[in-house]
Amino acid sequence: MTHHFLKANGIVLHYLEKNNNLKPVVILLHGLSANANSFESYMALIDNFRVISVDLRGRGLSDKPNGDYSIQSHAKDIIDMMDVLKIDKAILAGHSFGGLLSIYLAVHFSNRVLKIILIDVAAKMHPKVREMVTPSMSRLKKTWKSYDEYMINMKKAPFLKGEWLPEMESFYKADCKETENGIEPRSNFEDMQQAIEAVLNPDIHWEELITQIKQPSIVINGNEPFVDNLVLVSKENALETVEMIQNCTYVEVAGNHVTMLFGKGAKQTVNAITNFIN
């Protein structure tokens, strides 16, 4: 796995890459306030195709422009990135926010998308989605005296339920930076608020968009509670989404909305992805 930077849509994007001599190309699109490293467990398990995990604008080591975190700008970033890398068509695998971005790209840039993999995202999310992402987003407003203090706090996140895995540290390490004030998050809270409001905008009719998907698709659903014993994407809503797409299958895996990215959930998800692609 190697680190790279490129310029796309007027900003610099950072991405991780593995197997750059193989095909097909799978582009991993992370969740709302996550970063490319959230997919490291997936990338470690993927052997048979080229895989790219990108820091979306405002996250990780990518540029953090002021003011534009619309779904349209996110989509243009990915298409321009594909152009720079001379990738004509790709399979998109998106988690949460990245899943909605995958849907948008599959419909509006259908000639560039071979297949889509929707990881814990559906046409209808839990009605309290804003409140449910608050524990994860709250870290973006804090500063810690040391990296050790930061990690102690990250391990206490309620959605982890005390089930910390060493492989999670890479994601959290990529999420912060050392400054003269201590350890600070790389992403800006207001930017991420703008991003979530952009996808929850009632003017974007996700159910209508999803019915327009023509590419083969798969919905991969975490089966465990996220916060307050609630599931962000219920099995019912996930299956409803599957029914809305012409050619789509459903797979349930271990873990909740976040922990499915690691450990047993990651292994089951990569197995589902591999079977789907092959």
Chain segment 138-168, per-residue pLDDT in tens = 899 999 999 999 999 999 988 898 889 999 9
Q: What does the alpha-carbon distance between residue 25 and residue 83 come to, in Å, rounded to a whole number? A: 13
The chain-wide mean pLDDT, for the chain, equals 95
- Whether residue 4 is predicted with pLDDT greater than 80 in this model: the reply is yes
Q: What does the alpha-carbon distance between residue 154 and residue 159 come to, in Å, rounded to a whole number? A: 10
| CA geometry: angle 17, 21, 22, nearest 5 deg | 90
Q: What does the alpha-carbon distance between residue 165 and residue 162 come to, in Å, rounded to a whole number? A: 9
What is the pLDDT averaged over residues 66-79? 95
Q: Convert the pLDDT of each residue in 201-229 to its tens digit.
A: 888 899 999 999 999 999 999 989 988 88
Query: Where residue 126 falls among pLDDT bands split at 50, 70, 90?
Result: confident
Q: What is the set of domains in the chain, with CATH numbers?
A: 2-277 (3.40.50.1820)
Q: At what angle do helices 189-199 and 129-137 cross, to 10 degrees?
A: 160
What is the pLDDT averaged over residues 233-258? 96
- Whether residue 245 is predicted with pLDDT greater than 90 in this model: the reply is yes
Among 17, 2, 9, CA closest to 84: 9
Question: Using CB atoms within 10 A of its CB, is residue 156 exposed (0-12), middle (13-18) or buried (19+)?
Answer: exposed
Q: How far is the CA of 27 from the CAs of 24, 163, 231, in angstroms?
A: 10, 28, 26
User: For residue 137, what are its two tokens?
Assistant: 């987003």
